[in-house]
């Protein structure tokens, strides 16, 4: 049956009209034709309208467009080569101009107070018409996609007509017609990106409600993909400069508790100032190290280097002298920019001396650069921040922009080369699904030498046109809630470990303006989620990423989320799930997309994880019918016991459920009779193997996956990101397991 119950899209037929009479024909006249011609010329001149993307315009299709302004429908009517039936809310006709404009096109009136069947539109599609729908149901207040309704998906599912996405950009910046609180201009740049026609199909034999749900998800996926594809990509510095031109140079961009607030103009001027100084001390393409805290100066330095065709190499001070020496060596660094104030911190004692002792490496201090700056340098930097100097070298999209280092939890850290395209693409992917707007502010205490902190904490607000607050004190758990309250942030970034620490000293009032908490970098524990949701009253959205993908791969969003998963793949990312022999639960995730890295440092491992253009993440996942991903574990975190592949993470989860305040780590070590054995190291003084066995029986977990030995330690070695350093732990534990009589250091066998 073609009639459905009241749909949230609220499409109806006008009172007193039959389905066949619902479409009102355009009022064609010589005057109207003349006005249309003049209007098209004016729109090309004033709005600089361009059409790009697919050239396919089926005569029978459902065209779906995002809705930014009252001028959307006139623009589409003037520039589309086909004449679809416009679906229009009757209330919009109260505006005389809009009533006259829409009268020039075939249209289908919708009355919001009378939910009805979609039979009229279905009949129109059956008779060979095309229809054009704004599936969001209202105009966007952010410039991004809002909540997409199911009406268009229902039509596509029941009519068999293809969906053609139309993505409008820029109309909300026009002086009239948009409620979005953005900068208004007389002549904004407007574009229409046309997607390829796609038929929505669902598996046979499923229920009506499930079919509608899958069709809706497919429609949303097409709209998000179109929004991402409509984004013009530029190198990082140019991307920020274009954002400043669009949102005004005077708009607040970033702030931190050290240097204060920075507008776009001030940030770009500082970037040019630092980039010019370092450009005189390095060559194009050279990698320059950055050893600075999470602050505005660090981002200014990254942008300044990227704008000068240098590669910003972000170093992690918590790795110590050995870790920094390794990073300097594999990145072939000749210069490291740092700060005397930072190196004076007690936790970094000896780091400066260690770097100074490296042959061929020079340390450049920000304090010294500040003394060299003259008034002429400041004026030139201000000019360069607005206009590119003639014949100045400019980076290309595929040039390397930054180098980040992997955590090293499973081996020596590797340098990850990320291009301008990879970082700009990942930001565009996040903006296509994130639901952020000009009124948002991100609070990030995540370090910039991690991809999550760099891309989401800094680049996302800069390129998205909203502000960010950078905090260098992630481990000051008492300070973070107070700073978050004072910053008026609306979005909080964190990891499971950091959120668990911050929550202990937080009051619900500290996060009164926070509307979502984005968690990543490690699995979000149910206890942490429960505390932040129930005690602090906040919504947690968990995502998934890898440094090699700059880093976002999948994420839950405000519009689409499912607890226990890391969300759906971001637009533009393809995935393969590869079965692994011996592992029954989960398959390895391979990904491909524009946000993938250029390669590894050192160069000899550049292709280690690439297979025919696909990056093998090493993570085992399950994907449900709606596209949500659930992380099972790491492929390397399995033990082969008696011929079966057993997850080491399961032992850790059992221990965490029993002793959530302690740290636990499971290792796979050789066993003379079963191939391998699981050894659990814990900081808890009372946990026993018997308790683990009882917990496994209660949950129905296989007993083969239980640890055969339990070792206690006062402390388990951790990486700077607070993840377990399994390499260091394995070297400590191996001797104690193989030799029952000799236990090293603080490890005690039980």
Rounded Cα distance between 539 and 518, Å, is 9
Strands (DSSP E) found in 478-637: 491-494, 516-519, 540-545, 552-555, 568-569, 574-578, 587-592, 599-601, 610-611, 614-623, 629-634
Which residues lie closer than 8 Å to 683 by C-beta, 6 or more apart? 662, 663, 664, 712, 713, 714, 715, 716
Which secondary structure element, helix H or strand E, spans residue 652, and what is its range?
helix 648-658
**What are the angstrom distances between the C-alpha of 602 and each of 291, 569, 681?**
20, 29, 33
Contact between 65 and 76 (Cβ < 8 Å): yes
Q: How far apart are the first and last CA of the chain?
A: 68
Residue from 67, 158, 172, 450 carrying the catalytic annotation: 67
247 is catalytic: no
Put residue 320 in one of left, alpha, beta given phi > 0 → left and psi -120 to 50 → alpha.
Answer: left
CA angle 110, 558, 470 (to 5 degrees): 135
DSSP notation for 237-296: HHHHHHHHHHH-TTSEEEEETTTEEEEHHHHHHHHHHHHHHHHTTS-TT-EEEEE--SSH
Q: Are 744 and 736 in contact (CB under 8 A)?
A: yes
- Token code pair at residue 269: 């001027």
Residue among 116, 157, 155 at smallest CA distance from 12:
116
Tell me the DSSP string of 77-105: HHH-SS-PEEEEEGGGGGSHHHHHHHTTS
Strands 400-405 vs 415-419: parallel, antiparallel or unpaired: antiparallel
Plot region of 491 (φ>0 → left; ψ -120 to 50 → alpha; else → beta):
beta
Catalytic residues: 67
């Amino acid at each position: 049956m073609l009639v459905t119950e009241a749909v949230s899209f609220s499409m109806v037929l006008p009172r007193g009209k039959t389905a066949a009479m619902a479409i009102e024909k355009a009022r064609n006249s010589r005057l109207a034709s003349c006005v249309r011609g003049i209007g098209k010329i004016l729109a090309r001149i004033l709005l600089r309208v361009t059409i790009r993307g697919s050239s396919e315009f089926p005569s029978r299709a459902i065209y779906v467009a995002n809705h930014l302004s009252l001028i959307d429908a006139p623009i589409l009517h003037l520039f589309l080569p086909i004449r679809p039936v416009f679906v229009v809310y009757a209330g919009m006709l109260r505006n005389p101009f809009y009533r006259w404009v829409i009268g020039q096109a075939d249209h289908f009136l919708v009355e919001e107070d009378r939910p009805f069947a979609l039979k009229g539109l279905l009949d129109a599609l059956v008779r060979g018409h095309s229809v054009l729908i704004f599936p969001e149901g209202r105009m966007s207040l952010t410039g991004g996609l809002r909540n997409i309704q199911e009406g268009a998906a229902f039509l596509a599912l029941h009519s068999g007509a293809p969906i053609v996405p139309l993505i409008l950009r820029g109309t909300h910046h026009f002086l009239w017609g948009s409620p979005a609180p953005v900068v208004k201009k007389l002549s904004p740049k407007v574009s229409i990106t046309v997607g390829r026609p796609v038929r929505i199909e669902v598996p046979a034999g499923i229920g009506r409600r499930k079919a509608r749900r899958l069709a809706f998800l497919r429609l949303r996926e097409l709209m998000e993909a179109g929004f991402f594809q409509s984004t013009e990509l530029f190198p990082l510095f140019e991307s920020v400069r274009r954002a400043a031109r669009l949102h005004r140079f005077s708009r607040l961009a970033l702030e931190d508790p050290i240097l204060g607030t920075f507008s776009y103009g001030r940030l770009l001027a500082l970037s040019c100032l630092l980039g010019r100084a370092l450009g005189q001390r390095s060559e194009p393409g050279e990698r320059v190290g950055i050893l600075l805290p999470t602050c505005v100066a660090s981002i200014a330095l990254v942008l300044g280097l990227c704008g000068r065709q240098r590669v910003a190499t972000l170093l992690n001070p918590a790795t110590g002298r050995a870790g920094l020496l390794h990073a300097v060596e594999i990145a072939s660094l000749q210069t490291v920019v740092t700060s005397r104030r930072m190196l004076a911190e007690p936790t970094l004692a000896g780091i400066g001396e260690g770097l100074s002792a490296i042959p061929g490496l020079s340390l450049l201090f920000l304090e010294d650069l500040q003394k060299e700056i003259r008034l002429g340098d400041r004026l030139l930097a201000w000019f360069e921040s607005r206009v590119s100097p003639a014949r100045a070298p400019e980076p290309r999209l595929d040039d390397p922009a930054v180098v980040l280092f992997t955590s090293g939890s499973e081996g020596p850290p590797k340098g990850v080369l990320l291009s301008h395209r990879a970082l700009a693409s990942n930001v565009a992917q996040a903006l296509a699904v994130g639901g952020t707007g000009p009124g948002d502010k991100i609070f990030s205490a995540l370090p910039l030498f991690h991809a999550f902190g760099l891309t989401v904490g800094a680049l996302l607000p800069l390129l998205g046109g909203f502000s960010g607050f950078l905090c260098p004190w992630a481990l000051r758990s008492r300070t973070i809630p107070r700073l978050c309250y004072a910053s008026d942030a609306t979005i909080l970034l964190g990891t499971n470990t950091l959120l668990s620490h911050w929550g202990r000293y937080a009051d619900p009032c500290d996060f009164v303006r926070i509307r979502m908490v984005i968690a990543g970098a490690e699995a979000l524990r149910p206890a942490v989620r429960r505390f932040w949701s129930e005690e602090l009253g906040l919504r947690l959205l968990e995502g998934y990423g890898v440094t090699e993908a700059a880093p976002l791969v999948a994420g839950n969003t405000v519009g689409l989320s499912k607890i226990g998963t890391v969300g759906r793949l971001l637009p533009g990312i393809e995935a393969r799930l590869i079965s692994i022999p011996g592992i029954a639960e989960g398959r390895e995730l391979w990904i491909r997309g524009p946000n993938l890295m250029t390669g590894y440092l050192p160069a000899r491992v550049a292709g280690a994880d690439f297979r025919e253009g696909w990056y093998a993440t090493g993570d085992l996942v399950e994907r449900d019918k709606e596209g949500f991903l659930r992380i099972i574990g790491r492929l390397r975190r399995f033990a082969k016991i008696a011929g079966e592949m057993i997850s080491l993470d399961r032992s850790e989860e059992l221990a965490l459920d029993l002793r959530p305040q302690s740290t636990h780590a499971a290792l796979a070590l050789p066993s003379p009779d079963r191939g391998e054995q699981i050894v659990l190291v814990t900081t808890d003084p009372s946990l026993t193997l018997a308790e683990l066995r009882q917990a496994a029986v209660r949950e129905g977990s296989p007993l083969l996956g239980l640890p055969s030995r339990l070792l206690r330690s006062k402390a388990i070695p951790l990486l700077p990101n607070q993840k377990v350093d399994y390499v260091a732990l394995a070297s400590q534990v191996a001797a104690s397991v193989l030799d029952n009589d000799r236990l090293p250091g603080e490890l005690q066998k039980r």
